[in-house]
Structure 1
Amino acid sequence: MRLPGILIATLLMAASVPCAAAQETSVDLELVLAVDVSRSMDTDEQALQRQGYVSALQHPDVIAAIQSGPLGRIAISYFEWSGEGSQSIVVPWTLVDDAESAYAVASQISPRVVLGRYGTSISASLVFAAAMFENNGFNGGRRTIDISGDGPNNMGPPVALARNAVVARGITINGLAIILKPPTEGLRSSAFDIDNLDAYYRDCVVGGAGAFALAVYDVDQFEISIRRKLVTEIAGQTQPILRVADQKSVPNADCLSGEAGGTRYPR
């Protein structure tokens, strides 16, 4: 019998075991960008995501936000994820304090296609991201995970359980719900597609001080949404643009909707 709560606690405890760490660099923010590349993300969506982050990291507004903090510098890491145990670091922890260093991070996010990754494990990816903060060489006033995806958690521990464990460590989780296609006929409210993915991210994924979720409904919104999201979390703004939590008309989400339909056919 699997005990997801114990599993999450064990993974997080293992990640926080102290070791002989190098001298830490103080930064305003330690930011992990966690990007969905599961099978549900087609090649066009993958390219849009990567280009969105590349463009955002090169935009003057994002660079200005980075330099607006007390120290004027942040640390960034970028990884891609899909199923449980399927996370790949693309950009290791990097100090960003000006346009040149921001461009250097953007240059590592190449427009390649990732194929053959099964499952959508938001929970395992949150645990993986939380572990990345340990002994990373930086000491930030804030620690944030920025996770994007186009479907519910259908692999690994329950997503709300993982979210709560990560937030308990003082880490903020912000989200980007990608809703470019309507739910597939016959698969609605399943592991593949659910209605109101924006509400799912609001209620089940994001958490912590100042947490927010944004939703992208059209390809034309992609780049500007990612840029606004980065500016908001980097600058530590208290009123993020397009806050999903402000949409009171959206019903509360079932945080186990993906697991309920995803036992046999994870993607």
Structure 2
Amino acid sequence: MRHLACLLAFLLSASTALAQDKAEVDLALALAIDISGSIDPDEAQLQRQGYVMAFRDPAIVRAILSGPNGRIAVAYYEWSDSWMQKLLIDWTLLDSEKSIAAFASKLEAEPISIARRTSISGAIHYAVSLFGRLPYDPVRKVLDISGDGSNNDGGLVTDLRTEALKQRIGINGLPIMNDRPNPFGFPAEADLDQYYLHCVTGGPRSFVEVAKNFADFPRAVRKKLLQEVADLGPRPDIARTELALRDGMNLAQARRPVSAQEDDYTRFVRPGYEPGCDVGERRSREFWQRRFGTSPD
């Protein structure tokens, strides 16, 4: 019995020491990128290059290094079907110009791939486990999802959003508007920005940044990353943030602290999407019934 008590005490002290050894970061940011079948290889390349360019942008580098701790942690994965999430870069500490440049170069070197279905819910579920093994102590946890369609595979997106919000993971969205039908014949979604706003995003200061098309993706990524790193929430422009960075202001001065009422992240969602947040699943079933007389599964 005495040996068991000693062992438990040792394990407890070891786990406490490990927790204390975790470096505090201003932000843990998981980047989740859509590679479903509606995105062709050229569009996938535009997405990838948008992130590479963003992490090489001097304003974003300054933003990362200007927080109270001067560092963030980033992970990058691609997603499509409910079972398909591909981790390209695991949690990486960005705490210097050199480490940020190395992250961008590593991302640029990864091969491009395309899969099939669109499971935003699967991407969120994967992020919860990804944050669960985060080797750093973050002030904020943010999941950033980009994509060009609504959820049509796996669980309901709102259920998985709640799962993430209960873990205090804020969710931002980067919907890519696309006015052409995808290769499988699904119609374009003119209200995808509203779907992302009401059905995908959540948490204090969560927001949607819209890419008007794939060519507009690099601009949208740059603006979104600046807002996320600065923790300034939704805003029509980023001029004030960029001026502050240029003048050497610590970003902590520009942030509004999270209040006690914001502890429950599930409160921060925007209900009221008229077509319903299961619209992607219904459209998918209707399409396959019309075309083949059967469900996609």
Band the TM-score falls in, shorter-chain normalisation:
0.7 to 0.9
Of residues 59, 76, 79, the one that matches 1:78 is 76
Counterpart CA distance in 1 for 2:237 and 2:125 is: 26
The 5 Å alignment of 1:42-191 reads 42-109=40-107, 110=109, 112-115=111-114, 117-183=115-181, 187-188=186-187
Counterpart CA distance in 2 for 1:187 and 1:76 is: 33
Is residue 183–residue 195 contact of structure 1 (8 Å, CA) maintained in 2?
no
Of residues 30, 34, 37, the one that matches 1:36 is 34
User: Which residue in the other structure is 1:11 paired with?
Assistant: none
Cα offset, 1:113, TM superposition: 2.7
SS in 1 for 2:54: helix
Of residues 201, 218, 232, the one that matches 1:237 is 232
Instruction: Letter of the 1:259 partner, please give it.
Output: E
User: Which residue in the other structure is 2:281 paired with?
Assistant: 259
User: Which residue in the other structure is 1:227 paired with?
Assistant: 222
Is residue 196–residue 253 contact of structure 1 (8 Å, CA) maintained in 2?
no
Moved more, 160-169 or 170-179: 160-169
1:209 paired with 2:204, answer yes
Larger radius of gyration: 2
Flag the 1:69–1:252 CA change in 2: closer, same or farther, 3 A: farther
Is residue 180–residue 217 contact of structure 1 (8 Å, CA) maintained in 2?
yes
Structure 2: give runs of 5+ residues left out of the alignment: 1-13, 239-271, 289-294
1:197 paired with 2:192, answer yes
Counterpart CA distance in 2 for 1:54 and 1:85 is: 26
Cα offset, 1:44, TM superposition: 1.2
Counterpart CA distance in 1 for 2:237 and 2:280 is: 25
Counterpart CA distance in 1 for 2:275 and 2:66 is: 36
The percentage of counterpart residues that share the same residue type is 37
TM-score by length of 2: 0.74
Q: Deviations over 1:148-175 (max 9, x none)?
A: 0001100000111111221122110000
Is residue 228–residue 241 contact of structure 1 (8 Å, CA) maintained in 2?
no
**Structure with a larger share of its residues in strand:** 1
Cα offset, 1:224, TM superposition: 1.5
Counterpart CA distance in 2 for 1:266 and 1:218 is: 27
Cα offset, 1:82, TM superposition: 0.4
TM-score by length of 1: 0.82
Instruction: Letter of the 1:139 partner, please give it.
Output: D
Cα offset, 1:133, TM superposition: 1.1
Counterpart CA distance in 2 for 1:150 and 1:99 is: 32
Counterpart CA distance in 2 for 1:148 and 1:36 is: 6
Structure 1: give runs of 5+ residues left out of the alignment: 1-18, 244-249
Cα offset, 1:221, TM superposition: 2.1
Is residue 199–residue 252 contact of structure 1 (8 Å, CA) maintained in 2?
no
SS in 2 for 1:94: strand
Counterpart CA distance in 2 for 1:227 and 1:54 is: 10
Cα offset, 1:251, TM superposition: 6.8
Is residue 79–residue 87 contact of structure 1 (8 Å, CA) maintained in 2?
yes
Flag the 1:210–1:242 CA change in 2: closer, same or farther, 3 A: same
SS in 2 for 1:83: coil
Instruction: Letter of the 1:225 partner, please give it.
Output: A
Counterpart CA distance in 1 for 2:154 and 2:273 is: 25
Counterpart CA distance in 2 for 1:266 and 1:217 is: 29
SS in 2 for 1:45: helix
Counterpart CA distance in 1 for 2:275 and 2:172 is: 17
Counterpart CA distance in 1 for 2:279 and 2:190 is: 10
Is residue 195–residue 273 contact of structure 2 (8 Å, CA) maintained in 1?
no
Cα offset, 1:266, TM superposition: 5.9
Cα offset, 1:253, TM superposition: 4.7
Q: Deviations over 1:112-168 (max 9, x none)?
A: 3313x2211000110101211113210100000011000110000011111122112
